[in-house]
């Protein structure tokens, strides 16, 4: 199999950019990579399987990097972990049986609202607090949607925690750390149900993502709070609005 084609370089670049954004903001790797694969005509189930397989490498590197930079909260990590793994397994199994695109309009609408709330909160002082409630359903739902839609863990979980006042840097680091186990659980489930193909895409996305992971973790620690919040909100809103328009065949 010839991996090193012009398209392979595109996959590496896409993986680098997607992971740089994801590592710094806690979201958008799956959304960015999935959009690329769908544009190349890869079916939804195969797209999600391919992206999650690549993310096993990128999220592992990102988790290690965030831990090294002190961005991971152990309590938050532990509370999200088990329900997230269960959600990823159920979501991946369900997608192997039917088209997960049915959920996308509803999730996109929710994320548009969350993105606008994040932008609004960037201009008002929100008393910081450690979010300790409703973490189990949040982790489960975020991973379920992520596995079924090829992305969504970061936008759903990270944006929810940020809106509720959790520290941005700690939220991004902790959510990224849990994401490794989400992608691993989803990938194993896909492997056992539909198998894995598109290995050149997986390798390209993974290679670019692993290179970008330390840069993303560094950016999460260095970016000022207010611009960081605005950037997160704009990213979530724009990407979600585009997905919503695509779901209704308007673009």
Q: What is the C-alpha to C-alpha distance for residues 28 and 5, in angstroms, rounded to an integer?
A: 26
**Contact of 29 with 55, CB cutoff 8 Å:** yes
The ranges of the chain with pLDDT < 70 are 1-6, 25-28, 31-32, 35-46, 98-104, 107, 125-128, 149-151, 196-197, 220-221, 225
d(CA 60, CA 180) in angstroms, rounded, equals: 5
pLDDT at 79: 93
Contact 52, 147 (CB under 8 A): yes
pLDDT of residue 4: 62
Predicted confidence at residue 103, as pLDDT, reads: 63
List the end-to-end C-alpha distance of the chain, in Å, as a whole number. 35
What confidence score (pLDDT) does residue 25 get?
Answer: 66
Distance of alpha carbon 49 from alpha carbon 189, whole angstroms: 9
Question: Tens digit of pLDDT for each residue in 98-111?
Answer: 665 666 677 678 77
129-136 LR contacts (CB < 8 Å, sep 24+)? 129/164, 129/165, 129/166, 130/73, 130/75, 130/76, 130/166, 130/167, 131/76, 131/161, 131/164, 131/165, 131/166, 132/75, 132/79, 135/76, 135/79, 135/80, 135/83, 136/79, 136/83
Cα–Cα distance, 86 to 143 (Å, whole number): 8
**Which residues 6+ apart lie within 8 Å of 227 measured at CB?**
none
Write out the two tokens for 205.
Answer: 């996305």
Provide the strand spans (E) within 105-172.
none
Question: What are the DSSP calls for 8-55, one per residue?
Answer: HHHHHHHHHHHHHHHHHHS--HHHHHHHHHHHTT--HHHHHHHHHHHH
pLDDT at site 42:
65
The two tokens of residue 119 are: 């932008």
Tens digit of each residue's pLDDT (9 = 90 or more) over 197-225: 677 778 888 888 888 877 777 776 677 76
- Nearest one of 20, 21, 15 to 34, comparing CA atoms: 15
With CA atoms as reference, report the closest residue to 169 among 201, 211, 128, 212: 128
Which pLDDT does position 196 carry in this prediction?
A: 67
């Amino acid at each position: 199999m010839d991996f090193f084609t012009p398209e392979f370089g595109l996959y590496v670049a896409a993986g680098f950019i997607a992971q740089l954004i994801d590592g710094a903001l806690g979201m958008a790797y799956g959304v960015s990579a999935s959009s690329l694969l769908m544009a190349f005509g890869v079916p939804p189930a195969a797209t999600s399987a391919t992206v999650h397989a690549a993310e096993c490498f990128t999220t592992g590197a990102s988790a290690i990097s965030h831990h090294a930079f002190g961005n991971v909260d152990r309590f938050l990590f532990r509370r999200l972990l088990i329900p997230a793994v269960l959600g990823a397994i159920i979501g991946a199994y369900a997608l192997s049986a039917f088209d997960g695109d049915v959920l996308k309009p509803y999730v996109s609408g929710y994320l548009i609202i969350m993105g606008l709330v994040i932008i609004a909160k960037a201009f008002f002082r929100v008393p910081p607090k450690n979010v300790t409630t409703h973490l189990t359903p949040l982790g489960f739902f975020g991973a379920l949607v992520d596995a079924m839609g090829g992305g969504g863990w970061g936008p759903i979980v990270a944006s929810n925690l940020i809106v509720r006042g959790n520290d941005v840097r700690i939220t991004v680091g902790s959510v990224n750390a849990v994401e490794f186990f989400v992608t691993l659980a989803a990938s194993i489930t896909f492997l056992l149900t539909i198998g894995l193909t598109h290995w050149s895409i997986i390798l390209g996305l993974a290679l670019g993502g692993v290179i970008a992971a330390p840069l993303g973790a560094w950016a999460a620690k260095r970016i000022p709070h207010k611009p960081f919040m605005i950037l997160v909100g704009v990213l979530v809103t724009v990407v979600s609005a585009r997905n919503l328009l695509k779901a209704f065949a308007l673009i």
